[in-house]
Structure 1
Amino acid sequence: MTALDRFDGARVVVCNWRDLKHPSKGGAEVFCHQVAEHFARAGAQVDLLTAGSEGNAAQETMNGVRIHRLGNALTVYPRALLWILRRRQSIDAVIDCQNGIPFFTPLAAAKRTPIVCVIHHVHQQQFGLYLPRPAAWLARQLEGRFTRRVYGRRAFAVVSPSTRTDARRVLQLRGSIHVTPSGIERPDRPAQQRAAAPRLVSVGRLVPHKRVEILLEALPEVRAALPGVRLDVVGDGPARPALEQRASELGVDDIVTFHGFVSEQERRRLVADAWATAITSTSEGWGLTVIEAAALGVPAVGLDVPGVRDSIRHDETGWLVRDPSALAPALVQALERMGDPERRARISERAERWAAGFSWLTTSDLLARCLLAERDRLGRAGADRRGGSDVGIRIEIPRHRVDLEQVARVARRTDRWTADARAVTVLLPGADETTATAVLHRLGLPPEDVMMQVARPLDFMLGNDLVVV
């Protein structure tokens, strides 16, 4: 039995600003639906509360998830709270997805209902790009001060260590913060070979904070070094007309194709055809498009900003650039490396191996673990004694010394582990060396027989082998 299996028969409510049929859907909606569907497959009764959009029914069932579209982008918040309040005694768990502003579900749910608030990234700087000054100020207060007050020590789940850092430093959240990386669907590699000439691809919504103009402004220098280069821009949004105008002003409109929204199959074909993908956002919660490209063997070049620095392993699965002025040379270098068949094979293999560690089943199971840990805390049964520290201990145990079921028996809800032929790697979030030594004692292992070290941010991206919990 996995953590997800423990929700068989439970009623789980998921709140998200938009759903997959919303015209402005993005990575947060993919995350929300994938998690909701995995809980439904495990036997949970899942209700998704979201805003309505033109042409979509007020109620609908998709892949076992009952969708309730309640009002518009603003009224969905009070209407979702009222919906929960009326059914609070029948709700077993809540996944409250924050898209800049959370749903403040602790105000409506029963006191001991476990709630996990999912944060993809912190929006404090972005509000000013989209809202008038008074509205941006109010949004910052709702994301920061009001969230701290309403959620208190409730649990949070973030998609990357960078988001966890911002949640503590910028939002000053007090509850436990668990890193639950986004998954990906394992793609089928398109049949064709990569493009013969150097080709870049950029995938994502065309909105101001994605800063695709930075990529366009790098192209003249890239073309001077690699005359055959082309760029495919996949996605649409309000910034598209300005970006097309900017490409024309720079004289690169002949080598840039704006594809708009395309089918999943076509998007994968365009990514697989590329030599590299580029990402120039101000920040991301987690570079989902980076991992999707890596799964197809395509490395990424991105600015060294929160989220992107978590999804790109510098000089292994791609390259991080500290300043936009250095983007063009970095792109040229990446394309030249990918032009060498031997180097391309090595880089692609590392990218695919990195992407293979992420799945929606793992993401959903980790969220289920967070909910179970929160239920224990609220019920004072098996409460977490490690405290709310964001550090942790990483342990590597020789494979022949332990099996995963042993680890599962001594681990707490949100510990993580995975194994290969050489070792079992265990991550103990919130632990220090004393706590880790106690875990080893319960496993019957002396500390000198294992490798123990303070966990790095990368270690918090460790997945779980799904075994009995």
Structure 2
Amino acid sequence: MNWRDTRHPEGGGSERYVERIAEGLARLGYRVSIQCAGHDRAPSGDWVAGVRFRRRGNKFTVYLHALLAILRSDADVIVDVQNGMPFFSRLVARCPVLVLVHHVHREQWHSALGPFFGRIGWWIESWLAPRLYRKCRYITVSNVTRDELGGLGVELRRTVVVPNGLDAPPAVTARRTEAPVLVAVSRLVPHKRLEHAIDLVARLRPQWPDLRLELVGEGPWKDVLRQHAIDRGVQDSVVIHGWVDEQAKHEILAGAWLHVCPSVKEGWGIVIMEAASHGVPTIAYRSAGGVAEAIVEHRTGLLAEDFDDFVRHAETLLRDQPLRKAMGAAGRERAQQFSWEESLDAFEGAVHSALRLPPRLVAGEHRVAQQVE
């Protein structure tokens, strides 16, 4: 149960995680379905890489459609992907439920829904959901989120960390640009705080007149960001690409000097590792959760305490080419340590644990075991 898929206009890294794991489970012999919201970029139902997709409802009614799908299903395990709002699957599921949480949304509720509805959303996530799912196992992508869930009452013993994997980067023709280029790859939504990337250009352009920022991604905040660049007088230095395909994204990453991630919160930050795979270090905020694990500070990137610190870090890396190259090389080496196969093994272990199966039982055998019992 996920609110979006990767083909959704606002799909991002969390959706990619879900689909890579789902595809891996399908390869192992599991029957996997993803229930998500409908949109105009994909049919209401199809099969991709052995995974069945059912797209119903919008960003609000997707939850009702998911509950109806659970009632009709013969699933052995439900994976309830809690992107702030749970699917309340525990109320109707007749099988074990695994709760997948990428990060806690305390800071995002207000910006997404305003003060009144934001308080309701945070109450559901921080108080109601931990109690509703109090007997369920949790999966998350970083130790930071695991600890934050612990603060909400989810016992650490019920939570397993299954980090993001990483696809091998495609071959690219792009080379590092001669003029300095910053890149940010993100959904264009308020909590990604991409205004800070534009403000960074405004602060640095007096010293770096050829500086350019390339924003890659789609979302409802595009016009706001375009207007913000105009207001700051840097519209000629900011390129908003919108959605691009994977090859184009990697070409843009490979040509950049620095990747900037000013997001309020991230569970991990797949794009940080994608940038690292091209030798591009990242600057992010220390308070943004999982980025502090995706980045090895002072080795593959830098973490800022506030916006002024963000600017200082960017100045440092733009001016110090040897340091920038050293961080890029360390990031490329570290990126090679992550794979979806290892993440899949850990996720499958969590599935077996929820089903109380022996850890070495292969996919498909659990049905035979149940029949024997």
Whether these two folds match at TM > 0.5 is yes
Counterpart Cα distance in 1 of 2:183 and 2:220: 19
Q: Letter of the aligned partner of 1:359 in structure 2?
A: S
What residue number does 1:68 align with?
Answer: 54
What residue number does 2:211 align with?
Answer: 229
Q: Letter of the aligned partner of 1:41 in structure 2?
A: R
1:269–1:56 distance in 2 versus 1, CA, 3 Å: closer
What residue number does 1:331 align with?
Answer: 314
Which residue of 346, 351, 362 maps to 2:331? 351
Counterpart Cα distance in 1 of 2:69 and 2:231: 51
Counterpart Cα distance in 2 of 1:240 and 1:190: 27
Q: 1:173 aligned to 2:173? A: no
Is residue 189–residue 296 contact of structure 1 (8 Å, CA) maintained in 2?
A: no
Which residue of 91, 98, 111 maps to 2:82? 98
Number of residue pairs the alignment of both structures matches: 358
Greater relative contact order structure (CA < 8 Å, 6+ sep): 2
1:238–1:72 distance in 2 versus 1, CA, 3 Å: closer
1:107-152 alpha-carbon deviations (Å, 9 max, x no partner):
2222xx3332110111122111121444323322321222122211
What residue number does 1:46 align with?
Answer: 32
Is residue 258–residue 282 contact of structure 2 (8 Å, CA) maintained in 1?
A: yes
Q: 1:282 aligned to 2:288? A: no
Partner of 1:225, secondary structure, is coil
Is residue 9–residue 219 contact of structure 2 (8 Å, CA) maintained in 1?
A: no
Counterpart Cα distance in 1 of 2:236 and 2:5: 36
Deviation at 1:48, TM superposition (A): 1.1
What residue number does 1:318 align with?
Answer: 301
- Which of these two proteins has the greater Rg computed from alpha carbons? 1
Q: 1:301 aligned to 2:287? A: no
Q: 1:364 aligned to 2:344? A: yes
What residue number does 1:157 align with?
Answer: 139
Q: 1:77 aligned to 2:77? A: no
* Runs of 5+ consecutive residues of structure 1 not aligned to the other structure: 1-14, 383-407, 409-469
1:63-82 alpha-carbon deviations (Å, 9 max, x no partner):
11111123222222233223
Counterpart Cα distance in 1 of 2:122 and 2:174: 47
What residue number does 2:72 align with?
Answer: 86
CA RMSD in angstroms, aligned pairs only: 2.0
Is residue 79–residue 97 contact of structure 2 (8 Å, CA) maintained in 1?
A: yes
Partner of 2:249, secondary structure, is helix
Counterpart Cα distance in 2 of 1:179 and 1:299: 24
What residue number does 1:397 align with?
Answer: none
1:291–1:241 distance in 2 versus 1, CA, 3 Å: same
> 290-299 vs 248-257, which deviates more?
248-257
Q: Letter of the aligned partner of 1:234 in structure 2?
A: V
1:131–1:316 distance in 2 versus 1, CA, 3 Å: same
What residue number does 2:20 align with?
Answer: 34
> 151-160 vs 226-235, which deviates more?
226-235
Which residue of 21, 25, 43 maps to 1:57? 43
Counterpart Cα distance in 1 of 2:110 and 2:221: 16
1:348–1:48 distance in 2 versus 1, CA, 3 Å: same
Q: Letter of the aligned partner of 1:333 in structure 2?
A: T
Counterpart Cα distance in 1 of 2:220 and 2:325: 37
What residue number does 1:264 align with?
Answer: 246
Partner of 2:78, secondary structure, is strand
* Runs of 5+ consecutive residues of structure 2 not aligned to the other structure: 361-373
What residue number does 1:457 align with?
Answer: none
What residue number does 1:131 align with?
Answer: 113
What residue number does 1:109 align with?
Answer: 93
Counterpart Cα distance in 1 of 2:199 and 2:68: 48
Which residue of 212, 215, 219 maps to 2:194? 212
Is residue 230–residue 256 contact of structure 1 (8 Å, CA) maintained in 2?
A: yes
Structure-to-structure mapping, 1:416-427, within 5 angstroms: none
1:22-64 alpha-carbon deviations (Å, 9 max, x no partner):
2221112111111111111111111111121236332211111
Counterpart Cα distance in 2 of 1:240 and 1:373: 43
